Amino acid sequence: MSDLVTIRNVRKDYRRGSEVVEVLHSIQLDIRQGEFVALMGPSGSGKSTLLNLIGGLDNPTDGEIRIDGERIDELSSNQLAHWRSENVGFVFQFYNLMPTLTAQRNVELPLLLTNLSAAERRQRAAVALQLVGLADRAKHKPNELSGGQQQRVSIARAIVSDPKLLICDEPTGDLDRQSAEDVLNLLNELNRQHGKTILMVTHDPKAAEHASRVVHLDKGELVDDGQPS
Ligand SMILES: Nc1ncnc2c1ncn2[C@@H]1O[C@H](COP(=O)(O)OP(=O)(O)OP(=O)(O)O)[C@@H](O)[C@H]1O
């Protein structure tokens, strides 16, 4: 399998007032198509910062980020927004669903940026909800769903555009053990049966066991890279 993500000499600085803080130092990382990578490390080590760079939510201060051959660090913020909508699905710890919309409408949201007709949008969202096992909850609003179900809706929303890369920031951080296992098994299924490449930040060693590879960050540097223990 070929590399989907190639990161070379990536540095990220943040500015706090007059102070510049270097949060990521010369990161080198390759992720192959079809991998499920867990990114671990202490609080403040730079995990979310790295995830946001790979997902095109932010630009590095220096270095190269290539996704499927495309240099995303060279894109403007408008180009990056367009690139994200076609290439990356995001799953966050607190689901980020629109509270006034049904599960079905939440899943359709990313498709509003495409040229698909309303009927096609409905159809694709229905397929995505089916895939996460929530076809029977399509008309429910987020507050009528459990945390685990809300996270599965957010996963359906993340995959509805058929992105190459799924980026998950602590996807089980707000869930009980059983709901977390359900969500992780779903991610495994998307990885193994639907070929999605997954990058997941987690603090939970049990969650990391579901990945095929675990990468550790410490103080802005990659310190370990291997199989889950
Ligand atoms: N927008 C920002 N402006 C300034 N500093 C920031 C910004 N975002 C993050 N930082 C700093 O960068 C460092 C790394 O933050 P980051 O959120 O990437 O860490 P993390 O490993 O994901 O932590 P956690 O596990 O607690 O979520 C921290 O010291 C944080 O305070």
Q: Break the chain into its structural domains and give their ranges.
A: 3-226
Instruction: Respond yes or no on whether ipTM tops 0.85.
Output: yes
Position in ligand 1 atom list of the atom nearest CA 45: 21
Q: What is the pLDDT of residues 143-174, one digit of tens each?
A: 999 999 999 999 999 999 999 899 999 999 99
Q: What is the pLDDT of residues 51-72, one digit of tens each?
A: 999 999 999 999 999 999 999 9
Q: Hey, whose CA ends up nearest to atom 18 of ligand 1?
A: 46
Q: Which CATH superfamily is domain 3-226 in?
A: P-loop containing nucleotide triphosphate hydrolases (3.40.50.300)
Is there a contact between 225 and 215 (Cβ–Cβ < 8 Å)?
yes
Q: Is 202 in the pocket of ligand 1 (CB under 6 A)?
A: no
Name the region of 17 (left: φ>0; alpha: ψ -120 to 50; beta: rest): left
pTM of the model: 0.94
Q: Is 43 in the pocket of ligand 1 (CB under 6 A)?
A: yes
